[in-house]
Amino acid sequence: MVSSANPGKSPTARRRGRRTPALVAVALGLSVTLVACSGSDPISVGDRPNAGHPPGTVVTQRSSVPLTSLPGYQAPAALGDGGFWRPMIGASGDITWRVYDQDSTVIDGYDPKREVAWGSGSEYTEIPGVLAWRGNNARSAPSYGTAQITDKKLEIAWTHDVGVVTADGYSFPGAGWTGQPLLVKWPEQTKKAMGLSAAQIADQNFVEVIYPVFDGHVYRLSLADGSTTKDPIDAGWGFKGTGSVDPRGYPLLYAGQGLNENGTETDGPWEYRIFDLIKNTQVASISGTDEVSHRKDPEGWGAFDSSALVDRHSDTLIEPGENGIIYKAKLNAEYDPDKGTVSVDPKLTKMTYRTPVSRQYGIESSAVAWKNLMWATDNDGNLICWDARTLEVVWAHALVDNTDSTPVLDDSTGRPYLYTGNTVGWRGDDRRNQVTNLRKVDGLTGEVMWEYDVPAYFDFHVKGGLLSTPLLGQGEASDLVIFNVGKTTAPSEGTMVALDRQTGQVVWQRNLEHYSWSSPVLIHGADGHEYGVFGDSAGLLHLFDPTTGRDYTSISLGANVEASVAAFDNMIVVASYDQKIFGVKVS
């Protein structure tokens, strides 16, 4: 088992790495040297030119933007065999792609009539909670509600034991990257349909924790006290990424399998799984072993770490796979709360692509969506933009190196921008190339608006760089975007840096004694302040001030907190390598 004192090889080590920022950065093309922190103060502070000036509050309407209206758009060229191509951004050569039906037959001119689109992230779900990775289609809401915070303390309210499995030559305890729990405040009818207790049905404040973890179970717990609400679902094979609950409030869970070993002599099938939360059982799946995949691992790698997005209006699920395929599923989902039944019958359309830098063909990040445009990063360092309806690739930008971090979308000005960063992977062990590139990208064109470079360490098994999703500031921190970068100032350390969203200028930078893959979260205080939370590789959960980077307090969760937290009002939930799910109260 990986210990908290020496995190060593992560359970995700075989395919992703960590990075480390040094004290030299590049912002807006200018070299910026930061003064090393001395004494006990690990934080350096710069100017904050846009404090008190939020970028905007535009509400995005759910509608499609015509591709022909995008700046510089040109129709793709046909390959003649059902495929298409267009020039790359950031690399010489072209990106090519093809669309297939469920039977893996190329569709020449795929042009369905049904619109697939999203509006503002605040409109993603019909019921309260955190129902997907980072909560919505912008990946910007990993917390829900408002917390009453006076003491600025963290306290473990409850724990629930989970298991460990051996796979791929490593031990996988508790939950790992990204491993965020889902928090759902179900309607009364749905609680009845699921057969929850009379007390839970009557409790208008009842929130359920739904947590797929490494040991292959989906745990269902009460947020209030950690008690079991339903028996764990035994899926047989472990989960590494984050699941998704149907945003219509249907009792359906979508969760990608991350392991196909469980310590036995038999390997399991690679599947993206759909669970009926009434019957507490799997009812459908998407195979990760797909003949159209360009990924040709000897072991036939077909994991799903991405957290699916569902367009509830068109009954459509989008899920990128680690086999390099983007899956679009018409779910044909039906839910009758009175009869207590839910069903799903997914029909697939698939898109594959190649770029000049493609070598591994895998997507571990989760897709981001704005209207009909979607984006994801991949193992080869590509940032891909595609149309959710037609699966046409709109543009593709080569971002230099392996990129597993899910971008965060900022549409506060009415135009979509993405914050993203890569790792030190394909660039190898040449120290001159060991740099994590943090960027703001125009979602319509792929143009880089600014870049801030953070030196990071290469390690073949546990690389350095950005694995966490950037945190988009809100409220008093709305001028900031916060990046949590691993393995920077030393192989065991990390750096958290807050950049001005408009300029990329450093506002504060903090040295972390223990590197972190955990994505930072904001909790909204009833006192009008924002409070940041993240876990680190030593097992510490930190409560910090997002305007300065300074900790209010921290507590130990026993071992590496590689997973990311979700929060509902005053309660925080996350699992650690200590083989426990923790309910933590902030007060």
Q: For 448-463, write each residue's pLDDT tens digit.
A: 999 999 999 998 778 8
Q: Are 327 and 272 in contact (CB under 8 A)?
A: yes
Angle made by CA atoms 223, 303, 123, in degrees to the nearest 5? 45
CATH number, domain 24-169+177-586, options 2.130.10.10, 3.50.50.60, 3.20.20.70, 3.40.50.150? 2.130.10.10
Task: Please report, as a single letter, which amino acid is at residue 420.
Answer: T
Instruction: Confirm if 321 and 128 have CB atoms less than 8 A apart.
Output: no
pLDDT, averaged per 10 consecutive residues of the chain (587 residues), comes to 32 31 32 36 88 84 97 95 95 97 96 97 96 98 98 98 92 97 98 98 98 98 98 97 98 97 91 98 97 88 97 98 98 97 98 96 97 97 98 96 97 96 87 90 98 92 92 96 96 97 97 97 98 98 98 98 98 98 99
Q: What is the pLDDT of residue 318?
A: 98
Other CB atoms within 10 Å distance of the CB of residue 51: 15
Q: Report the number of secondary-structure helices (H) and strands (E) in the chain.
A: 2, 44
Contact predicate 532/543, CB 8 Å: yes
Which string of DSSP letters, residue by residue, matches 435-449? Answer: EEEEEEEETTT--EE
Closest alpha carbon to 152 in 477, 556, 531: 531
Cβ-count burial 447-485 (b if 16+ within 10 Å, e if not) = ebbbbbbbbbbbbeebbbbbbbbbbbbbebbbbbbbbbb
Longest dimension (CA), the chain: 66
Alpha-carbon span 533 to 528, nearest angstrom: 17
**115, β-bridge pairs:** none
Contacts of 220 (CB under 8 A, 6+ apart): 208, 209, 210, 211, 228, 229, 230, 231, 232, 233, 277, 280
Could you report the per-residue pLDDT of 410-451, keeping only the tens digit for each? 999 999 999 999 999 988 777 778 999 999 999 999 999 999
Q: How far is CA 73 from the centre of its chain?
A: 29
Q: What is the model's pTM?
A: 0.93
Give the Cα separation of 240 and 39 in Å (integer).
Answer: 38
Domain ranges, ordered by start, for the chain: 24-169+177-586
- Which segments of 141-263 does DSSP mark as H helices, in order? 188-193, 198-202
